[in-house]
Amino acid sequence: MSLETLPAIARAAYTTFEPFHITAYFNPQLKSAGKDTGLDGHAWYFGSRAAPLGETSASVVAAAFYNFNPELIERVWPSAVAAGLDTITARRWELLDSVLADALGPLTTDPQLVKIGNRLRGLGDTAVFAGRTLSAAWHSSERPDAPHLALWHSIAVIREWRGDGHLAALVDAQLDPTEAVVFHEAVHPDPKARRVLGKRITQLTRQWSDDEWDAAARRLASRGLLTTTEAGETLTEQGVELDAHIEQRTDVLASSIWRGIDDAEELISSVRPYVKAVIDAGILPGTKKRTD
């Protein structure tokens, strides 16, 4: 496999695996999990996703999650720690067991499920985790025995490995956390170029105020990366070029984990039936349950 092909492989893995991965953070049972642990949505999210980091300081979690307001994490992370990271972890696996088992149905007993999960686990076992804190934490966390959960865990390691590299690309682009959010949500000339949440939802989930948002937009505009109007922010030609560069660098930085995997395309494709089952179950935002 050529070095030119590897970034495309990394991109294909990301787009293929992502729906399976986010079932832990977007599904109908999350409200019950929050009730069980006494945590609000933000505290549950950080508790369940950052649990492998252990009882570290909120500033470390904020560094690993990058584009969330550190003040938000300073508020909710202590609540997650107080609820018990082991308790949250156990509840997360219970939730995923239920959600994925319902979505996969008979696929949970597919003999290939174990083989695929182990192959992907092998990628993590040989990965270099230097500079990839969150992925390293997930790789060191206990992997469940149930095949559908083992697959999710293997995918989580690869996904967070890519995510850690993406943060490096943002740092290299000199986008601070607020700027990274505003830059990503700015209107792109090609609406298919990327998926956005929209300003309202982004501010709600990342907890950046209007003043913080506007200040970041002004800084980006001063660099010639976007224009601002009452209608919002729009990427300039220079901004579009930087956006493409960040995505390209992310793919390149994510590609080494696939080096030496001669059947990488086939391995990625082998995950698609399980991902399709999750999408067809209608449990993710923007999806509807298929009844045919």
Q: Which residues of 199-227 are buried (b: 16+ CB within 10 A; e: fewer)?
A: beebbebbbbeeebbeebbebbbeeebbb
243, 183 Cβ separation under 8 angstroms? yes
Tokens describing residue 120? 């992907």
Please tell me the pTM assigned to this model: 0.95
Residues near 170 by Cβ (< 8 Å), separated by ≥ 6?
A: 66, 180, 246
Q: Which helix (H) or strand (E) holds 98?
A: helix 85-104
Give CA separation, 62 vs 68, 75, 242, in Å: 7, 11, 24
The pLDDT score that the predictor gives to residue 194 is: 80
Q: What does the pLDDT look like over 51-71, one tens digit per residue?
A: 999 999 999 999 999 999 999
**pLDDT tens, position by position, 145-172:** 999 999 999 999 999 999 999 999 999 9
What is the average per-residue pLDDT within 40-44? 96
Most distant CA atoms of the chain, gap in Å: 56
The domain ranges of the chain are 5-24+110-172+246-280
Look at 29-33, 246-250, 271-275 and tell me which has the smallest mean pLDDT: 29-33
Q: How many residues does the chain have?
A: 292
Compute the distance between CA of residue 166 and CA of residue 69 in angstroms, rounded to an integer.
Answer: 18
Which of 154, 126, 167, 155 lies closest to 253, judged by CA? 167
